[in-house]
Amino acid sequence: MNGMYKPIGTLLVASLMFLATGCFKNPTTGRRSLNLVPEGTLSSLSGEQYSTFLAQNKRLSGTNDALMVQRVGNKLAAGIVQYYAQKGQSSILNGFKWEFNLVQDVQKNAFCMPGGKVVIYTGILPVTKDETGLAVVMSHEIAHAIARHGNERMSQGLLQQFGGLALNVALSSKPEETRNLFNTAYGVGTSVGVMLPFSRKHETEADLMGLDFMAMAGYNPGEAVGFWQRMASGAGAKQPELLSTHPSDATRIQNIQKHLPQALAIYSTKK
Tell me the pLDDT of the chain (271 aa) as tens digits: 333 333 333 333 344 344 444 677 777 777 787 777 777 777 787 888 899 999 999 999 999 999 999 999 999 999 999 999 999 999 999 989 999 999 999 988 899 988 999 999 999 999 999 999 999 999 999 999 998 887 777 777 676 666 655 556 666 666 677 677 767 766 665 443 333 445 678 888 999 999 999 999 999 999 999 999 998 887 544 433 333 445 567 888 999 999 999 999 999 998 7
Q: Would 135 be classed as within a structural domain?
A: yes
- Which residues make Cβ contacts (< 8 Å) with residue 253, sequence separation at least 6? 225, 228, 229
Beta 99-103 vs 117-121: how paired, if at all?
parallel
Do the domain assignments include residue 91? yes
Secondary structure (DSSP) of 91-150: GGGTT---EEEEE--SSB-EEEETTTEEEEEGGGHHHH-SHHHHHHHHHHHHHHHHTTHH
Distance from C-alpha of 132 to C-alpha of 237, rounded to nearest angstrom: 27
Q: Is residue 203 a part of any domain in this protein?
A: no
Say if pTM beats, i.e. exceeds, 0.95. no
Range of the domain at 103: 19-196
Q: Please report the pLDDT score of residue 202 as a whole number.
A: 82
Look at the chain and report how many structural domains it folds into.
1
64 within a domain of the structure (yes/no): yes
- Name the CA radius of gyration of the chain, rounded: 19
Rounded to an integer, what distance in angstroms lies between the CA atom of residue 26 and that of residue 205?
Answer: 10
Residue 33, SS3? strand
| Rounded Cα gap, residues 143 and 129, in angstroms | 21
141 part of the active site: yes
| Domain assignment present for 223 | no
Largest CA distance in the chain: 71
Give the HSE-up count for residue 59: Cα atoms under 13 Å, Cβ half-sphere.
16
Residue 228 CA to residue 252 CA, distance in Å, equals: 8
Q: Has residue 52 been placed in a domain?
A: yes
For residue 252, the tally of other CB atoms under 10 A from its CB is 22
Residue 80 lies in a domain: yes
Please write the tens of the pLDDT for every residue from 193-216.
333 445 678 888 999 999 999 999
Task: Choose the catalytic residue: 99, 141, 205, 223.
Answer: 141
Instruction: Note whether residue 216 is domain-resident.
Output: no
